Amino acid sequence: MISIDPTDKSPIFEQICKSVCRDIAAGVLRENDRLPSARELAKLLQLNPNTVAKAYSILERDGIIYSMQGKGCFVARHEGKAYEKLTENFRSAVREALDAGASADELIEIIREMSRDN
């Protein structure tokens, strides 16, 4: 389920975080579901185990998953945290654009354009 685009400029650990959050937000992963172990996932995605471990530790820090020594990592009670993390980049981009002097209406117009194209 979790997938990576190696050509993507964003750090791989971040892509993993996003991917997990996406699955949670979409309901593919539910509360207390077990995530693949760091080693498993690293092997599957051809990554350095450290990279996966880093992603998991961030997700744990953000309260999106919890780990149990020797058992693995599991999806936490979410309360919208996963969704929030997903739109985190979007929020900061909005803040940046507003700071740069764009108006809310201009941004909304851009979104309308872009969703129309799809």
- Binding residues (CB under 7 A) for DNA: these are 11-14, 35, 37-40, 47-51, 53-54, 56-57, 60, 67-73
Q: From the CB of 106, what's the least distance to DNA, in Å?
A: 26
Residues forming the site for a second copy (CB under 8 A):
6-7, 11, 18, 22, 25-26, 61, 66, 68-69, 86-87, 89-98, 100-104, 106-108, 110-112, 114-115, 118
The CB-of-40 to a second copy minimum distance in angstroms stands at 20
CA 78 to chain centre: 13
Residue 95: partners with Cβ closer than 8 Å, 6 or more residues away: none
Note the maximum CA span of the chain.
51
Instruction: Please choose which of a second copy, DNA, none residue 102 contacts, taking the beta carbon within 5 to 8 angstroms, the exact cut-off set by kind.
Output: a second copy
Nearer to DNA, 13 or 21 (CB): 13
